[in-house]
């Protein structure tokens, strides 16, 4: 009954720090609309950013910076993701390591964003 994920929300300490990180490190684009959360656009999805003291309704019951743990599928080879992380001084916590994703085997790297959310970026193996 469900086809995919359209978006998810991250509660962040600073919109600017979060946007800078995701744009610089992962190439996401910013979308600002009046009276709407700032969004990070990538592929056919987005991440809405709620600043910790400026959330939007409805929202999670206990929105907290740093509580996110999610996996993104790379549009480029994982070696390019790793190079961007290195060039931007982002430490890889784990990986590359093989995992099983929704569509099968993949190689993943794990790192933290400015709020200490755990971000996994993966490349599916053929």
Active site members: 120
User: Count of residues for the chain?
Assistant: 126
Lateral strand order in the sheet of 104-112: 69-73, 118-124, 104-112, 92-101
In angstroms, the CA 19 to CA 29 distance is: 8
Cα R_g (the chain), whole angstroms = 15
């Amino acid at each position: 009954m469900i086809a995919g994920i359209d978006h998810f929300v991250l509660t962040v300490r600073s919109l600017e720090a979060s946007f800078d990180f995701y744009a610089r490190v992962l190439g996401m684009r910013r979308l600002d609309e009046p009276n709407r959360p700032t969004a990070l656009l990538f592929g056919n999805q987005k991440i809405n950013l709620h600043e910790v003291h400026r959330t939007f309704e409805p929202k999670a019951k206990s929105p907290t910076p740093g509580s996110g743990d999610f996996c993104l599928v790379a549009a480029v080879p994982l070696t390019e993701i790793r190079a961007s992380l290195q060039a931007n001084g982002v430490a890889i916590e784990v990986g590359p390591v093989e995992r099983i994703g929704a569509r099968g085997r993949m190689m993943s790297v794990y790192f933290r964003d400015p709020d200490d959310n755990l971000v996994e970026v993966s490349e599916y193996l053929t």
